[in-house]
Amino acid sequence: MLRKVLGIRVAVSACALLVGTLLSSTTFAADAGENAAFKHHCVTCHGWEGKSSAPRYPNLAGQNAAYLVSRLKYFRAEEEPGNQMNAQAVLLTDEEIDIISEYFSKQAN
């Protein structure tokens, strides 16, 4: 009986591991933008889906991705001295800017 119970536990564990691996690999691309937005603190001011509840911060949800890319590169270049976005954008690579911009552009406004 013990051998049968252990066999079932091993089978269930293996299935759970397989399902978890499949789910994580298929959702990685979708989550890359969300992960980058969290990592770089975009969500602190702009909200999880780019919908800011504070009027001070613009909504990013549904914005054109090319526009977001140009704005982030503008801030990264510190073309507007004293803007708080400069300190955030300076840490971003071109790839991260593309990923974050694409993520927010696909959020419902």
**Per residue in 41-89, pLDDT tens?**
888 899 888 999 899 999 999 999 999 999 999 999 999 999 999 999 9
pLDDT of residue 3: 65
- Give me the CATH code for the 30-105 domain, please: 1.10.760.10
**Per residue in 11-34, pLDDT tens?**
444 444 443 443 444 344 458 888
Burial of 37 (0-12, 13-18, 19+ CB in 10 A): buried
Sorting pLDDT into bands at 50, 70 and 90, what band is 39? confident
Segments making up each domain of the chain, as ranges: 30-105
pLDDT of residue 107: 93
Spatial CA neighbour of 102 closest among 62, 75, 71: 62
Distance from the first to the final alpha carbon of the chain: 57
Whole-model pTM: value is 0.69
